[in-house]
Structure formats: C-alpha cells, structure tokens
Amino acid sequence: MKKSALIIGGFAFVLSLVVTLISPFLLLCMTLFLGIVAGYITGIFEPTSRKKEAIQQAAKAGLFAGIGMLVGQVFGAIMNGFLVGPEGAVMVFNSFGMSVGSPSQMASFYWTILTVSTACISLFNIVLMAGFGALGGLLWWLFSGKESHATTEIVE
C-alpha cells in the first residue's frame, strides 16, 4: 500500500499542480484513472490472500494518493491565484463579452470562489480516489488474486 500510494500520490501531486493552473475541474477525469491504478498496483506490490484485505488496502492507497493530489491542487490554486488574479479573470470575462466590473470589484468574489472551489474539489477527489482505489483492488483480485489464492490452497 505504501509503495503504490507514494508512487501514485507523487504523480498525482505533480499532475494536479500543473492541471490546476488551467482549471481544477479537469482533475475529476484523472482522479478516476489514478484511483484505479493506485488500487491495482497495491495488489501487485502487496498481494493478499483475502478479497476483503485487498480491497481495504487498495482503498487506503487511493486515499493516501488522493491526499497527494490535494496538496498539489492547493499549491496549483495558489499559483493560479497569483498568476491570473482578479485582473486576469476580468479580462477572460470581457473577452467573452460579459461585463463583470472592475478588478477591484471582482477581487473578493474571485478569491472566495478560488478558495471554495479548491476545497470542495480537493475533498471530492480524495473520496473518489479512495472509492476507485477500492475498485482497482477488486479488479486486481478478480484478475490476479484468485489465481494466486487458488494455487496456495492446492498445495498439501
């Protein structure tokens, strides 16, 4: 569990740091894939003889990898806030023909939305990665775990 959580958590940290600079909503699709991979490689690194243990370890690996994603997403949101800022948000809205007022009027709204969206999406990503980590553990059990368990029981 530790190896897969560190590997996928590190990858998720870097990925979420980069992707959050564009939009944190893009992480939701990647969360599903990373959770399943974290759960599956938990079964590869630490095979167990029982299905329940495989799923529990995989869910924990997905959870810890999700924490890595949370940290990357927070750093990405901070960088996004300083690079784009309320001025950049006003320019984006104006380019679409929407009048939102001056950057000073937009500032409190911008920082509130940035903080709340980062918090909500980060927590949702952790839950998704834990759930899909459990799915990855179940998939490992169905594809590989049964075979290794069956061969250990036959030996007398």
For residue 104, the model assigns a pLDDT of 83
For residue 147, the model assigns a pLDDT of 63
Between CA 126 and CA 122 the distance in angstroms is 6
Token pair in block for residue 68? 């890595």
Position 67 in a domain = yes
Position 148 in a domain = yes
Position 70 in a domain = yes
Q: Which domain holds residue 133?
A: 2-77+123-154
Summarize the confidence of residues 120-130 as an average pLDDT. Answer: 94
Between CA 88 and CA 154 the distance in angstroms is 66
Structural domain count, the chain: 1
Position 88 in a domain = no
Does the pLDDT at position 80 exceed 80? yes
Between CA 103 and CA 117 the distance in angstroms is 20
Mean pLDDT of the chain: 88
Token pair in block for residue 54? 């495989």
Lowest mean pLDDT among 7-16, 24-33, 141-150: 141-150
Position 118 in a domain = no
Summarize the confidence of residues 110-124 as an average pLDDT. Answer: 92
Summarize the confidence of residues 133-141 as an average pLDDT. Answer: 95
Between CA 116 and CA 145 the distance in angstroms is 41
Position 137 in a domain = yes
Position 58 in a domain = yes
Summarize the confidence of residues 71-82 as an average pLDDT. Answer: 93
Does the pLDDT at position 149 exceed 70? no
Position 35 in a domain = yes
Quick one: which of 76, 59, 65, 68 has its CA closest to 130?
A: 59
Does the pLDDT at position 61 exceed 80? yes
If one compares 47 and 24, the residue with the highest pLDDT of the two is: 47
